[in-house]
Structure 1
Amino acid sequence: MDYSIRELMEWNEKIEKIARDYGLDFYEQEFEIVSYEEMLSYEAYIGMPSRYPHWSFGKAYERTKTLYRYNLTGLPYEMVINSNPCLAYLMKDNTLLLQILTMAHVYGHNDFFKNNRLFKEGTNADYTIEMFKRHADQIREYIKNPAIGYDEVEKVIDAAHALKLQVNRTIYKCKGEQEQQEGKYKLPEEDLLLFIIKYSDIEDYKKTIVEMIREEALYFIPQIETKIMNEGWASFWHYKILNALNLPPSLHFEFIKRHNDVVSPRVGGLNPYYVGYKIFEDLEQKYGLKKIFEVREVDRDSSFIRRYLTLELCQEMNLFEYVKRDSEYIIKEVSDEEGWKEIRDTLSNNCGMGLVPYIQVVDVERDRTLILEHVFDGRELLLEYAEATLKHFVELWGHPVLLKTQFSGKEYKIYCDEKKCIKRGV
């Protein structure tokens, strides 16, 4: 590290002042400088200082460590937690310019966390760190309990992880919505974990674990729903702030290179930093800063793309849609007068929670067999994964589960109990 902590603090003061002068509104910001080994650990634990023990975190750590060792992936320049105060980690090995850029980037994220409606209405930043610590402590207590133990806790966590995104997609309850009365089913129900918590026959400690996994999933859903906006917003502001810093030439050249690395197109894929940055840049040029602050507050990725991804932007970013036919990939649409709207709509439908199959409870039979229905939107389930997930559902529900879906244009049913899974077309 060829710079001092004092230097970083001085740059941080300058960055914070410029951010406030531009109108950014953020939580108190805290930075922690960590080694690459520590960053690997934080990345595996999704940035949280405290997390319950589970094999999936160790697997994520070893996978990233191996890829990093062989130069097959990089580590994030920073990691930011939606908390109040907002906690961010900076890599100790970063250059001075990279620390300056990532600190400015963090203030963009911080502002987004505090002001975007999905975060305001769906999360409680004051409670974030405490929530994850409480969950970790509680699960460790269950593991230490000789009547429960690690193996039983692991089975419940495995099952709850398989279903963790099958929760309420609206993030928050509508005003005036009443709680369901105990013992009565209000169907259909899209929040599968909540249904298990309320109506399953499993032991109370298992319901408590499911409830904790659900609470953490609800914390992450706003981030899933705003990945393009959030990264685009942070990239837009780090660029503005660093230009306003009047960096010396020795730092300015590296700034341009680093910024271009962050917002460069991704061959064969979609870089959320790039797409979000280009849309916010276009909105500012057309309508001014007031407009982008309004967009930052009210939109999520799906509406952001549908409203503001234009023909000109599609062409500038060279966006196209491709599909797999047999063993080959072919281009379906290009960004011309006829195809750009389909590209926009496909991207809008396939970001955020749009990537997660929409499954809901539609009935409970007298023998407690649970009937699920896949709300079909033209995208078929991967049957191998569907079957594996249903086995986890049986583990949590304690009774058979039947899923109705469509496959090859026909109704398709998958029935699972504790011993077997049966698939059949209708």
Structure 2
Amino acid sequence: MLQEIKPHEQSSGLIYDGVEWDYDKIKRVYDAIEHIALKEMGLDVYPNQIEVITAEQMLDAYSSIGMPLMYKHWSFGKHFARDEMMYRKGYRGLAYEIVINSSPCISYIMEENTMTMQTLVIAHAAFGHNHFFKNNQLFQQWTDAQGILDYLEFAKTYITHCEERYGHAAVERVLDAAHALMSQGVHKYPKKRSDLRTEQRRERERQEYQDQTFNDLWRTVPKPAAGQRPSKSVSERKKLLGLPEENILYFLEKKAPRLEHWQREILRIVRHISQYFYPQKQTKVMNEGCATYVHYQIMSRLHETGQISEGAFLEFLHSHTSVVFQPEFDDKRFSGLNPYALGFAMMQDIARIAEKPTDEDRQWFPDLAGRGDGMAAVREAWANFRDESFVLQYLSPHLMRKLKLFSVRDDAEDPYLLVDHIHNERGYRDIRKKLARQYDLGYLEPDIQIVDVDLAGDRKLILQHRVTNGVLLDESDAKAVLRHIANLWGYEVQLIEVSAISEAILKEHAVTAPSGVGVV
């Protein structure tokens, strides 16, 4: 927790007064927040860059997945039109800020915000999210904060050049296909992190190397005589192609026989951007919990030291309680656990266990209970976990009771619901395990891999979906995505859904080869 306030630490005056903001006030607020965040809370952040934008610019940032210098695509315009309509009609509000995982860390704040809200979002984004981006091990493994802005500038310039040279429609077809496969365009296990700053310099070398690789790969495909099959075994064929492969964009970029170099480079661009966002999909609860905990501690400290007024603190509390509000399970507004509410509550609970543990806490968390430094405990959690493991490690019986968590068995063939895990020791462990699974991407996202290619025949690409939770793919969505894969591959594509338990075939999908060459 924050250090105890001593009388001589009291501030002699407010750092701002009233609701209107100006740049001098923002500078004073930033300096005050920075002192608390770095000196008292021990946060470690990238250099900050804070930009004030309009509501329309915020909507534009929404539409292009929050990234500056993003290339153009029709889907971004569609999202902008939808969000703007809903905002103008009052169906939805806007985020108070958007923050970019880069170095410097860019925080966009709305010019419509009051001065108190500007203070809140600077604490939340420029120090809370910023610290999490810099220190969490997933972001350290997978993202290049130093190089992402330069890479986005290269990507935007490259795609614009392709549109001028090959035509807008041809580039759009590649981007459509790549965007449809973004969720299947990431490496899920640690590899050497890409240095995005070198991508532009390596493009020409990569083109020459890939040309040689692809020419050799498809030149050596055996051509059997009439009535004969090639002698190459299935295992040898799969080894040649690096199968099975779950990163579909990566496989198509490297192995698709008909793509030109510029098309492969666009797939590579989309794949890098998808990989950049992969840690954020796994740390929603932790990331927002970290930022919310940080802004709450900083705003409380500013109030305790007399640097913001009672009115400003009440305005902050009104916004904060709205952010962490959790509807009851029988409330019409309930749509699952609010990641802000769960994350913030767990951060507070970790600090409580570290500083003021109960006997129950000592039994469940022997290494954490009573260690005495709550802020150090939450910093350690921020650095070393993702949502799934974070819940498994830190969700306490005390918090489960406070949040009134329970488990319901919902069987589609049974007309009744059964509350099968309640508040006893076995129930606590099962509730924690089931809640953690809700943040496991391996369980939530379909396990789809490329498993084989008929090199000796019609070069049909074969994918497999291992069904682990009994849920098959939607027929229309599967066909639409397979059409995009076929456009990139250049030949027929087949998807087989199999049971992960029995290996039985549950369903098959197939699309024919495109009539043209590649996607042009």
Please confirm whether the aligned pair reaches a TM-score higher than 0.5, indicating the same fold.
yes
Partner of 2:256: 200
Partner of 1:159: 177
Task: Point out the structure with the larger strand share.
Answer: 1
* 1:330 positional shift: 5.6
Partner of 1:41: 60
Partner of 1:53: 72
CA distance in 2, matches of 1:332, 1:400: 47
Of 291, 294, 310, the residue aligned with 2:396 is 310
Overall identity of the aligned pairs, in %: 36
CA distance in 2, matches of 1:302, 1:372: 28
* 1:341 positional shift: 4.2
Partner of 2:14: none
Of 372, 376, 380, the residue aligned with 1:294 is 380
* 1:399 positional shift: 1.4
Partner of 2:423: 336
Of 154, 157, 168, the residue aligned with 1:137 is 157
Relative distance call for 1:324 and 1:85 in structure 2 (3 A) is farther
Is 2:63–2:80's contact at 8 Å kept on the other side of the alignment?
Answer: yes
Partner SS, residue 464 of structure 2: strand
Given residue 298 of structure 2, which amino acid in structure 1 is its aligned partner? I
Q: In the alignment, does 2:180 pair up with 1:92?
A: no
CA distance in 1, matches of 2:418, 2:86: 31
Relative distance call for 1:133 and 1:330 in structure 2 (3 A) is farther
Partner of 2:441: 353
Partner of 1:235: 292
Relative distance call for 1:418 and 1:117 in structure 2 (3 A) is same
1:372-383 to 2 correspondence within 5 Å?
A: 372-380=463-471, 381-383=473-475
Is 1:196–1:396's contact at 8 Å kept on the other side of the alignment?
Answer: yes
Of 103, 116, 121, the residue aligned with 1:102 is 121
Partner of 1:172: 190
CA distance in 2, matches of 1:230, 1:214: 23
1:312-327 to 2 correspondence within 5 Å?
A: 312-320=398-406, 323=410, 325=412
CA distance in 1, matches of 2:189, 2:160: 28
Q: In the alignment, does 2:510 pair up with 1:415?
A: yes
* 1:351 positional shift: 2.4
Q: Which structure has the bigger radius of gyration? A: 2
CA distance in 2, matches of 1:261, 1:372: 45
CA distance in 2, matches of 1:250, 1:6: 20
Deviations 1:43-70 (A, max 9, x none): 1112222111111101111111111112
Is 1:315–1:335's contact at 8 Å kept on the other side of the alignment?
Answer: no
Relative distance call for 1:165 and 1:277 in structure 2 (3 A) is same
Relative distance call for 1:137 and 1:98 in structure 2 (3 A) is same
Relative distance call for 1:174 and 1:33 in structure 2 (3 A) is closer
* 1:243 positional shift: 0.9
CA distance in 1, matches of 2:420, 2:488: 43
Of 250, 254, 268, the residue aligned with 1:211 is 268
* 1:115 positional shift: 0.6
Deviations 1:211-235 (A, max 9, x none): 1000100011111111110000000
Partner SS, residue 50 of structure 2: strand
Is 1:118–1:171's contact at 8 Å kept on the other side of the alignment?
Answer: no
Partner of 1:400: 492
Is 1:226–1:301's contact at 8 Å kept on the other side of the alignment?
Answer: yes
Partner of 2:37: 19
Partner SS, residue 467 of structure 2: coil
Relative distance call for 1:31 and 1:319 in structure 2 (3 A) is same
Partner SS, residue 125 of structure 1: coil
Relative distance call for 1:384 and 1:261 in structure 2 (3 A) is same
* 1:172 positional shift: 3.1
Partner of 1:257: 318
CA distance in 1, matches of 2:157, 2:292: 36
Q: Given the two structures, how large is their TM-score scaled by the length of structure 2?
A: 0.75
Structure 1 runs not aligned, ≥5 long: 421-426
Is 2:464–2:498's contact at 8 Å kept on the other side of the alignment?
Answer: no
Partner SS, residue 411 of structure 1: strand
Of 93, 105, 109, the residue aligned with 1:74 is 93
Number of residue-to-residue matches in the alignment: 414
Partner SS, residue 394 of structure 1: helix
* 1:124 positional shift: 0.7
Partner SS, residue 184 of structure 2: coil
CA distance in 2, matches of 1:307, 1:379: 28
CA distance in 1, matches of 2:287, 2:314: 26
Relative distance call for 1:419 and 1:342 in structure 2 (3 A) is farther
Structure 2 runs not aligned, ≥5 long: 1-18, 194-209, 218-239, 328-333, 355-373, 516-520
